[in-house]
Structure 1
Amino acid sequence: MKNFIDRVHLPNGQIEKLNKLEKLYLIAKDLNKKEPVQFAIFGKPSAPVYQPIIDAQKTYWQQLDNSLPIVYGELQGEDEYRARMAKALTRQYQTPVEKDDVVFTSGGRIAIQAASYLIRSLCANKYVVTTNLFYPDHTGISYSSDDQHNLLLIDVEKEMSSVTSDNLRATLDGIDKDNIGAFVFCDPNNPMGNIVGKEEWLKIIPILEQYENSIVLLDEAYAEMVFDELHQSLFSLASEQLRERIILLRSGTKGFSASGERMAILVSRNQSFINKIVEYHASNLVHSPKSAQHA
């Protein structure tokens, strides 16, 4: 496209360069003026919003006291709601999740970027292993730059299938274990929509256990959108040793057809991981999404 501007002027006069995803979105919007464009760059839910979400929103706004300020919340999320989420996750995954393992954040993209910040901080100059058909944010792209992880891609494109123990092992063959910083698994996969399944996870787990210093980001933003019993989570199946290195990502809104409300959950038993995620919040968000007014 000729004369496309790749920089934006902010209200404070600062000029910021757009990243690749932002450029693509703006180009598509411009093309849409001339002929219809199918926007697949961001999730566009089509089902009706879940009624309890509407009721909760009404309750929130109705309970606001105009004699009190709306203050910043906790960086990790309010204790009461993290405790509720930990209880729900413990029930779903059949493995203990504690309140302090949970971080609320502003949507899946921010959750991925917080995890990417963690990976860049702890695993600089090391490979991040993921599939060669991946959600763009899994490359570690931030809002402010086009920097990305050093990707080591699992070849699944020809079969259009999910990651398997065989193609994972083939990808890692010949690479020094110390050069692998992290694994990123999206299950159900975005954009392919497939799942790994219990049988294959049980074959993959022994491989991951060999990489004792690597981080495992498990993106399960679409976990509610599997309508059979085939989806089994790595978080449930993993050994205790492996589970300590997993960062679990869940959407708080996608399954309710309310993704525009921007809420996600990160879960980790590793306190150093949680500290880095909260550090990202402190620098970028000020606080996590709030579910109630706290004076």
Structure 2
Amino acid sequence: MLYDMRKLDAQIALWLDEDCGQFDLTAKIMVEEDAQGRFAFNAREDMVLAGLPMAARVFRHLDPKLKLEALAEEGERIEAGTTFAIIQGNAQAILTGERVALNLMQRMCGIATLTAAYVAEIKGTGAFLVDTRKTTPGLRGLEKYAVTCGGGRNHRLSLDGGIMLKDNHIAVAGSITLAVARAKAAAPVLTKIEVECDRLEQVDEALAAGADVIMLDNMSNDEMRAAVRLVGGRVPLECSGGVRLDTIRAKAETGVDFISVGRITQSAPCVDIGLDDL
């Protein structure tokens, strides 16, 4: 669960500026500037915790003296009705930062919770769940962090994190063999090259060309089992395309090493979290 918090500060400033405008008119009118408050973060549904350090950063942007006490850890399963953190300090600052902090956490916890459900489905198979680049622009780092809180693993964090030769790249290059050769000639020495294949003959070609990872794109379970036998453990195999919660177990049992699922970030619902006065 790695994240560079320094990158968050500039985003928080923009989010608060969007939400507040000139200032929080309600809080300015209704709450004395020196008033103190104590509020609980309450889970209103079962969830996996993700994003509490980020929420704390939102509040401290408004007042560095605010104190947030975590009662649960990132990645922990929390039942509905549980208080998982308490924040106290200047009431005006807390009320002003409430919505931005909760919006962020609700999104991240939603991703972590859905990720955990997928991870549970493939337990014991030997396959790992990985995310994709189907993330919200501007929130990728946070959403991929949330995936790890749910027990998943990260694929490329960005386009410079590895070379993925998809069908269009291969078409431009002329063949898988030519595409891999061109990539190997220019790539940094520690960079892996993954090749997307949607037919078994392409798997054979990618293997012979020296691919580091082979993606089995939208293949049937029978085709993936054949690919696993063909490759024989020489390189990792990734299953991708249209994976759902009710189909992932069977795909994992084909023997693939990784299963990438865009739904865990692209389609995760936000969970319900409340900030309640104590």
What is the TM-score of this pair, normalised by structure 2? 0.34
Larger strand percent = 2
Larger helix percent = 2
What is the TM-score of this pair, normalised by structure 1? 0.33
Say which one has the larger Rg.
2
